[in-house]
Amino acid sequence: MQPFDLKLDDDPIIFLEAFPGVEDMVVFRIAPAYSYSNSAVRPEFKPEITFTVNGEQVPVVLNKDNCMSGKYEETFYVADYKPVPGDEMSVEVASEGFRTIYAQTSIPESFPERKIDFRHIDHIEETYDVLYVSFKDDGSSDMSYGIQIHNERVTTYPDGRVETDIRRSAGYQIVDDFDMMVSDKNGMIINFNGWTLDAYSSQISGWDDDTFNGKDAELSMAVYGGYDEFFEYVEENEAWYDPWSLLSHNKLILYTFSPEFYRYVIAQDMISENSDFIAGLAPTNFCYSNIKNGYGIFAGVYCVETEWITREMIESGR
């Protein structure tokens, strides 16, 4: 019997992750990936990075405070450039002993002009406080959107100390088994886990425009804490031993995603929702990468923030 020979390419490759447009700079997470079956081939990793925006090269520098060595060797590089909608970007990373990797992406247009509304929705035996964002989709293909709630709680003490607690969340989708969803059926939760130098963990509600391409769109999500707690409020604690004043308010961070980014998060969502494949009860899901000759993701995102949302803003229809 002829022995089965599964021939795999076990040369070392380069991993890259970057989401330009999320911050006022572009952060690259870069690492070597070595084969366990070819452990003798481990060339030293000295990446040379070429980053271009609209055909012009932009300098990239090493961020020495966020590097790891040893078994989980990785480095962070930063380009001091603030992306704007329409930017065409490319990145190339080369190191002796590795195949040179290459990727392209673009920065999508900004979130359209919108109206924000709040409604009480009776759903089966529950009443939900649901946030709506309405706008006109421009009809271009492969558009996708994201909404994140940014809550800021500022505590002020008599001695002048100020503590600020920032929480970001995605609200939640109302789903049941009777095809009576309040929220958009193509909505999904996108998990961001330490994907920039901020290394915060948070979620975003995301939608593609398959069901409303070129039409009026209304994206919605129920809000934790309800209607009254969503709007700006001040709480005073006059206890003699620890008096303080608390200000709590919310705004929205509105995202548009490049096609590469949305394909990536769909793949990640499919993987996280398919635990059966570990037990061999379901096929494995695909892992999306747009890095040529390597692995990872280079995908443009753009985000804008609303002003602090007040009850008056909602009730006046602004």
CA distance linking residue 24 with residue 142, whole number of Å: 25
E strand or H helix at 17, and its extent? strand 13-18
CA distance linking residue 25 with residue 59, whole number of Å: 12
The residue-averaged pLDDT of 19-42 equals 84
What are the pLDDT digits (tens) for 215-251? 998 888 888 777 888 888 888 887 766 778 888 999 9
Residue 107 near residue 259 (C-beta atoms within 8 A): no
Mean pLDDT over all residues of the chain? 81
What percent of the chain shows pLDDT beyond 70?
A: 78
310 vs 185 pLDDT, higher one: 310
pTM of the prediction?
Answer: 0.82
Whether the predicted pLDDT of 200 surpasses 50: no
Q: List C-alpha distances in Å: 269 to 17, 145, 266, 286.
A: 17, 16, 5, 11
What is the set of domains in the chain, with CATH numbers? 8-107+263-299 (2.60.40.10), 114-258+302-315 (no CATH)
184 vs 108 pLDDT, higher one: 108
CA distance linking residue 183 with residue 252, whole number of Å: 17
The residue-averaged pLDDT of 5-12 equals 63
The residue-averaged pLDDT of 288-296 equals 92
Residue 74: its pLDDT value, please?
A: 67
Here the tokens at position 77 are: 């590089």
Ranges 74-78, 180-184, 264-268: which has the least confidence: 180-184
Residue 235 near residue 243 (C-beta atoms within 8 A): no
What are the pLDDT digits (tens) for 166-195? 888 887 766 544 333 334 445 677 765 444
Closest CA relative to residue 47, chosen from 58, 33, 26: 33
Residue 238: its pLDDT value, please?
A: 77
**Complete DSSP assignment for 118-130:** EEEEEETTEEEEE
Residue 194: its pLDDT value, please?
A: 43
Whether the predicted pLDDT of 282 surpasses 70: no
Most confident of the ranges 70-74, 163-167, 198-202? 163-167
CA end-to-end span of the chain, whole Å?
76
